[in-house]
Structure 1
């Protein structure tokens, strides 16, 4: 018999695995779950501003159909009845993709799903909303001309990070157990760190990017959730090879859950607080991340304090990125509507015109050199651990962290973007709280193709850290005065 509402668990906090078990045992239904997350949205979304399109009625019909399948013992897939949020640069058939831009708003409903959305649909996921992002996902703060500022559920006066800030803020707030994202410089990992959830950038090409536009080849698609095993489950579903996609990774389906409980005994792990080049790292963030690394050492791993020699790659990113942002504008936005883009992309277009083709080619070559150094470094180690964000979330009125060195003012994500150059798998997970009660994220990186090892280490650490970091990462959202 289903539980009475007064006896039901807090459904918005449960893992996908626990939700599926509840469906199977008829303890609660997909309709119960949908009503719970929609109640969370109604309570918190006006202040959070993490969602940009909702289809509640369609979601309710899908949840009712899923509930009937579970009652008959015939679920359609491994996510049947699970609500999923979709970043608004991933397409959903019948929905719109605004991509944070007034120039793309108001278009016709889409005819096809993005590839990873199609895989989630096949598994029975219910799409309840699109999530906010900066315009064309080109900045590290989720503040767009189309939707405005997305705020941090731990403190609404602070940024959620970007560009997947809508997805991470919404998952942290309990709007759904998982969301999609993509990451070209830390766009999954930085907001995951700011919002206290888990965000995974897989090895590039493992998850289909079709039909997204990625002029610099830096972006990877990945999942966001509150539990490591949920990340693994989602990866099993969305990492299927898509024939005909030129940069897809042709490999058999991966059993990400099969070895996830194997622990870290015998692994050789490097820890670097600054990745060898960060101008500054908040000391409490560095200390919290090192303490988390020491937990893995206590679990049987060998821990070495070491940093790769990658020089000062931030200047390279800042030099080349305007070209790639301007190229995205040219490919995504019709010429007659480009006057509608925001100031940042207008500036990128102006900067891009000042860079010669040879200058851009030299920047790409420098990226390859950084990638070679990172790949070489990880031949000596199984994993590399760093802080994800080297600063705490900061006020929404600011475009940069307080007191950030002006010489590198536009690149305050020094530990994340190099792994977009190298295309290696990298995950952010909460490992502690700052003195201000804000989440601190630890980044776990492995060699290219060893995505399963990243998740295995993350799962080992998840079991060693206080459960509250994962069960209620957005607890301050419900505090008096929030």
Structure 2
């Protein structure tokens, strides 16, 4: 069985296109929100991208937004930067009036939900229409999206495949037209993995650029970032998300620049490091390797100076998973015995691995992380950007929670290009660059220097502009095999 997404349909518009239509009165937020909700009603039963859809509140927000647009067109006050644009929120991010269940039976849905996280608050202030909450594995604990509470999320390009994780619901929603924008989190690749698997643009900003509250129990590897269908849309929403919030003591100082302004500036003269394996990735899928190498060739054609070179560090998998398992053990100890009995076997296994770590073990991991961060800060003094594959493999089978024994390699060994840059806290994006012979998306990753978010966006846009039209990444066809 197949289904296709047939234009014209407001659900297929980017956020930038919707804002242009609203400004001229050619479409309204109510019409766009209704189109997206209809798409969700049609496709979500197959994809399971949303765990909660707020039909009534979304339509009310859209009606309020339409009234503001009408006043603006009559000479009134300017509208918000995302006025009337439908957006979804990953179910790890607090959202007033909506349960944040974190994919877990251990979370009580009946409690008061009266706080917005910074990202959610900024979206409301900008006039966005919040559609609902997207699926995540329990506590965002893995690079697949499955959980005992919310089930398995599927890839819009092939329903038998995973969309990746942990922001798999966000990526599947954007890829299938269930909202042009989504907010995810990225602790070891959790924005970039699913964006690459689903053919979206995904951005992990510099740590602290998008404020968080509460901070992740998994520590300072955890970033918030957008999924979108275009780089321009990501720049648009980043202008909103990067506004400061005093609740996050790790957040960066205010950045009042407009990320959209330099998007078309090109990359002529930039010095770019190209690392096909980072020096240690042994099992890069050949179709991934070929497609990303082709993308890198475009960078040279755009005038960048590209040098093939590895950064020179060893695989930091054990650092990443060690710190992650310690975080899981922390969360585990905040649960009652009855709650622990309800959790995902993968999360349980991670927590028990964390229990084996001593204080000295954890301190050594932090020191090793610091050395890696220092090494990459120095490496990036020589280069403007680093380019790698986004993920070493295409999307694999969608599997239930607890399908395999948990260890570092099973957890993240197939995504060796994502987690190093959570440890170093650098900004990194993934841009779709091709399809496998089986029709699955492939992504190329652009890693910038710390605080170089605008440069990552500009480079991503430069590649996006010359990628070619052989593949329309906004038109996935999902197949139930």
Which range, TM-score by smaller chain? over 0.9
Structure ranking higher on relative contact order (CA contacts 8 Å, 6+ apart):
2
In structure 1, what is the equivalent of residue 328 of structure 2? 325
In structure 1, what is the equivalent of residue 3 of structure 2? none
Alignment of 1:51-130 (within 5 A): 51-72=50-71, 73=73, 74=76, 76-130=79-133
In structure 2, what is the equivalent of residue 392 of structure 1? 394
In structure 1, what is the equivalent of residue 25 of structure 2? 26
SS at match of 1:155: coil
Moved more, 372-381 or 230-239: 372-381
In structure 2, what is the equivalent of residue 341 of structure 1? 343
In structure 1, what is the equivalent of residue 165 of structure 2? 162
In structure 1, what is the equivalent of residue 355 of structure 2? 353
Deviation at 1:265, TM superposition (A): 0.5
In structure 1, what is the equivalent of residue 45 of structure 2? 46
Report the number of matched residues: 469
SS at match of 1:127: strand
In structure 2, what is the equivalent of residue 441 of structure 1? 443
Alignment of 1:79-478 (within 5 A): 79-331=82-334, 333=335, 337-397=339-399, 408-410=409-411, 411-467=413-469, 469=471, 472-477=473-478
Deviation at 1:234, TM superposition (A): 0.6
SS at match of 1:206: coil
Tell me, yes or no, if the aligned pair for 2:87 and 2:181 is still in contact at 8 Å.
Answer: yes
Unpaired stretches in structure 1, ≥5 consecutive residues? 1-6
SS at match of 2:51: strand
Tell me, yes or no, if the aligned pair for 1:241 and 1:248 is still in contact at 8 Å.
Answer: yes
Tell me, yes or no, if the aligned pair for 1:131 and 1:166 is still in contact at 8 Å.
Answer: yes
Tell me, yes or no, if the aligned pair for 2:103 and 2:147 is still in contact at 8 Å.
Answer: yes
Report the Cα distance in structure 2 between the residues aligned to 1:141 and 1:53, rounded to whole angstroms. Answer: 19
Deviation string 1:233-290 (CA, Å, 9 cap, x unpaired) is 1111110122353111113323211111100001011111111111210111111111
Deviation at 1:316, TM superposition (A): 2.6
Q: TM-score, normalised by structure 1?
A: 0.93
Deviation string 1:367-410 (CA, Å, 9 cap, x unpaired) is 222222222221111010100110011111388999xxx99333
Q: TM-score, normalised by structure 2?
A: 0.93
The list of structure 1 runs, each at least 4 consecutive aligned residues, that deviate by more than 6 angstroms after superposition, is 398-402
Unpaired stretches in structure 2, ≥5 consecutive residues? 1-5
Report the Cα distance in structure 2 between the residues aligned to 1:184 and 1:156, rounded to whole angstroms. Answer: 25
Tell me, yes or no, if the aligned pair for 2:79 and 2:127 is still in contact at 8 Å.
Answer: yes
Tell me, yes or no, if the aligned pair for 1:400 and 1:412 is still in contact at 8 Å.
Answer: no
* Shift in CA distance, 162/244, structure 1 to aligned 2, threshold 3 Å: closer
- RMSD (Å) for aligned C-alpha atoms: 2.1
Deviation at 1:474, TM superposition (A): 4.1
Moved more, 379-388 or 104-113: 104-113
Tell me, yes or no, if the aligned pair for 1:89 and 1:212 is still in contact at 8 Å.
Answer: no
Report the Cα distance in structure 1 between the residues aligned to 2:355 and 2:283, rounded to whole angstroms. Answer: 32
Report the Cα distance in structure 1 between the residues aligned to 2:319 and 2:402, rounded to whole angstroms. Answer: 19
Deviation string 1:187-243 (CA, Å, 9 cap, x unpaired) is 000000000001100000011011242333111111110010110011111101223
Deviation at 1:69, TM superposition (A): 2.2
